[in-house]
Structure 1
């Protein structure tokens, strides 16, 4: 069940299901009552289990569940590769306990394995929803919440399960927070840019005495490099772990070249290099049959002290058309979402660039569904979690849209947020007039 399989094999697992009054029965052990994490409000009931396909899950139901609204959570990542872990959904429940505090039931899947697979994760999220309905009954409303990579999962799930047999799909509304949108190629190509620019500057990943490999592979499957090893290499070259005053002149120059060309923050460099190493290995070698979906053959890099030398010296790669097609089928949105979609994104998010929202907005415009999309932005620089009062405000605004047809504005979400500050803490930082810049202003065009 957890053996590596290509993305195009995963796609074959998508099946049409009927969304009448009852969800299809799922062949899986029933949820088991478990102790709730301390972060979950007192009185809530928590359950856990395995979904019959290898994914673990957690469910939390408030003590007074009068809203009868279920929030299905699609988690971020996919930093962890390998088999699924039960602690993944436990960690997600702790982080998103605000959902239960706000009076909604919450359910989150670990997905059946780590690594990349957007359609797979969408299937596992929907399977868990069916388990919930099978054991706890139908809900009044079901919302789909995607965070980070999970935003891409949720946007894909909203498309896959939009309709079946002519009936409305299982999700009444979608909330996307700090999401990685646009599909794997669009969202991750900049990490190939990072690898080639880093290697041009630092020449230590791989080192000269190590076997060479195409950088789009991330890392050879038999390599024993650890994250600690990579951190040491990055720090040797850039001094990124040191205060600026303690870096050598060469380290300062190296770091400046990398962050200026890639438009990254110093603090996010190591994280992006980790993804461009181990996630790239999982994606290209295990999911795409050792084919490359990324192309920098025509990219013209700028921002260094000598762009001519940089562009002449970086390694160049052409994408394999089959890899591009398979990755697009698995992860690229087509925009055919037929339910209200509300989004929030930190304008200074160092991990999922806010410019991805512009790319997704264009997808929805081309699909003719932009009228069902509202984007809000904050001035925050966090990625994994924004100011807490904003989340109940977003859920309230989305439900008002779903149940009353009251399409929200960023101003309304901000006003709702301020009303929740007494219970959830100060921190409403929504910027109603902000609009995300085009992706080409952040990622080197090609």
Structure 2
């Protein structure tokens, strides 16, 4: 059966909720047999976790942080091995990964639950020589937040296809802007974004039908949002789902658009006149800022690996975290690798391994200074 781009994305989100970073193109880095790995599973405050230690452990630890887990997706227990774990196990690193206390925009839970897991690892297996935090997709934001908040225990952070942007900015520019602009071009398709009674999901077929009805407007929208005609419907559906979950979590609209100026979408004056405006909830906006706002203040190396084309975290956000680090006086601590791969988190295991090797090298250089 053929799937529309929107339904394909939703199916992929559900299938990958256990830790796959929304990606079906990751290639094998070589088998790691069960006999070569010591595995322990359990739960911390009700959150399932998994620790894998290779027979030839080098004494170092990788804490993995997974991507967005849609609310309501059945959770596996015992927690399964992360799809990317072999990249690190084959290099001799122990790998610790877990679910988080909540699903959806669980950034705050992710940071604290992963810290509990790191501390539990020490109690069970002793203090590792070095510890690294690695995150994929939304896990990239969580990894950056973790090293900013709990920096000293970590020798570095790797964000792969990450949301390397503070939550208020990515939700305002990367989620709400696409939705309100789509609504201005194609009125009547989306419900009121701030209405608590609006549905948790939208019909992607209606989005596709609307886009097909006005190809010129659809093409302009895709171009401005750095999407393609194939990825735009799924991206809008994901944006809507994420926003609705955050609103439920935060207790209201987390973004205020009353004075937002939308440029380069059409005749700016007329276009801004017809864009639907939303008044943000102060408490919801505060919640989003707490979960989480990045500062660029890091004490260890950070490596960012991005895709050449990323329909989920477009390239207009690529310079945000390096800019934060520069403003904080930490430009030298952030390494931005050349982009590779077409599609969100479309990396081979070899490419992920190469990015991690750069992080380890940067960590070694930092310790030798």
Once residues 41 and 322 of structure 1 are traced to their aligned partners in structure 2, the CA distance between those partners, rounded to angstroms, is 47
* Residues 1:260 and 1:400: Cα distance change in structure 2 (over 3 Å): closer
* Residues 1:95 and 1:89: Cα distance change in structure 2 (over 3 Å): farther
Aligned with residue 75 of structure 2, among 85, 93, 110: 85
* Residues 1:262 and 1:343: Cα distance change in structure 2 (over 3 Å): closer
- Unaligned residue ranges in structure 1 (runs of 5+): 1-36, 163-168, 207-211, 240-249, 408-446
Once residues 317 and 98 of structure 2 are traced to their aligned partners in structure 1, the CA distance between those partners, rounded to angstroms, is 25
Q: Is the 8 A contact 1:183 1:332 kept in 2?
A: yes
User: Which stretch shifts more, 126-135 or 259-268?
Assistant: 259-268
Query: Does 2:127 align with 1:138?
Result: yes
Structure 2 counterpart SS, 1:187:
helix
Compute the displacement of 1:364 (Å). 1.0
Query: Does 2:53 align with 1:61?
Result: yes
Q: Which has the higher contact order (CA 8 A, sep 6+)?
A: 2
Q: Is the 8 A contact 1:40 1:94 kept in 2?
A: no
Once residues 74 and 298 of structure 2 are traced to their aligned partners in structure 1, the CA distance between those partners, rounded to angstroms, is 29
Compute the displacement of 1:142 (Å). 0.8
Compute the displacement of 1:56 (Å). 1.9
How big is the alpha-carbon RMSD for the aligned residues of Structure 1 and Structure 2?
Answer: 2.8
Once residues 264 and 315 of structure 2 are traced to their aligned partners in structure 1, the CA distance between those partners, rounded to angstroms, is 21
Aligned with residue 299 of structure 1, among 228, 241, 261: 261
Q: Is the 8 A contact 1:81 1:279 kept in 2?
A: no
Compute the displacement of 1:69 (Å). 1.5
Q: Is the 8 A contact 1:83 1:113 kept in 2?
A: no
Once residues 354 and 46 of structure 1 are traced to their aligned partners in structure 2, the CA distance between those partners, rounded to angstroms, is 39
- What is the aligned partner in structure 2 of residue 351 from structure 1? 312
Superposed CA deviations along residues 224-278 of structure 1, whole A, max 9, x for unmatched, are x656xx1211122124xxxxxxxxxx34234224313433222332332223222
- What is the aligned partner in structure 2 of residue 270 from structure 1? 233
* Residues 1:402 and 1:298: Cα distance change in structure 2 (over 3 Å): closer
Once residues 324 and 265 of structure 2 are traced to their aligned partners in structure 1, the CA distance between those partners, rounded to angstroms, is 29
- What is the aligned partner in structure 2 of residue 395 from structure 1? 356
Aligned with residue 142 of structure 2, among 150, 153, 162: 153
TM-score (norm 1): 0.69
- Written as runs of structure 1 = structure 2, the 5 A alignment for 1:43-442 is 43-45=35-37, 47=39, 49-65=41-57, 67-78=58-69, 80-82=70-72, 85-86=75-76, 90=80, 93-162=82-151, 169-190=152-173, 191-206=175-190, 213=192, 215-216=193-194, 220=197, 223=199, 230-239=203-212, 250-286=213-249, 288-295=250-257, 297-304=259-266, 306-405=267-366
Compute the displacement of 1:186 (Å). 0.8
Once residues 91 and 185 of structure 2 are traced to their aligned partners in structure 1, the CA distance between those partners, rounded to angstroms, is 49
Compute the displacement of 1:200 (Å). 2.4
Q: Is the 8 A contact 2:89 2:95 kept in 1?
A: yes
Once residues 104 and 53 of structure 2 are traced to their aligned partners in structure 1, the CA distance between those partners, rounded to angstroms, is 29
User: Which stretch shifts more, 323-332 or 103-112?
Assistant: 323-332
Compute the displacement of 1:378 (Å). 1.6
- What is the aligned partner in structure 2 of residue 444 from structure 1? none
Structure 2 counterpart SS, 1:41:
coil
Compute the displacement of 1:181 (Å). 1.8
Once residues 97 and 267 of structure 1 are traced to their aligned partners in structure 2, the CA distance between those partners, rounded to angstroms, is 32
Once residues 149 and 110 of structure 1 are traced to their aligned partners in structure 2, the CA distance between those partners, rounded to angstroms, is 13
Superposed CA deviations along residues 166-192 of structure 1, whole A, max 9, x for unmatched, are xxx221111111110221111121321
Q: Is the 8 A contact 1:61 1:105 kept in 2?
A: yes
- What is the aligned partner in structure 1 of residue 22 from structure 2? none
Compute the displacement of 1:58 (Å). 2.4
Once residues 338 and 127 of structure 1 are traced to their aligned partners in structure 2, the CA distance between those partners, rounded to angstroms, is 20
Compute the displacement of 1:121 (Å). 0.7
Once residues 275 and 263 of structure 1 are traced to their aligned partners in structure 2, the CA distance between those partners, rounded to angstroms, is 15
Q: Is the 8 A contact 2:201 2:240 kept in 1?
A: no
Q: Is the 8 A contact 1:48 1:56 kept in 2?
A: no
Aligned length: 339
Q: Is the 8 A contact 1:204 1:233 kept in 2?
A: no
Once residues 292 and 393 of structure 1 are traced to their aligned partners in structure 2, the CA distance between those partners, rounded to angstroms, is 37
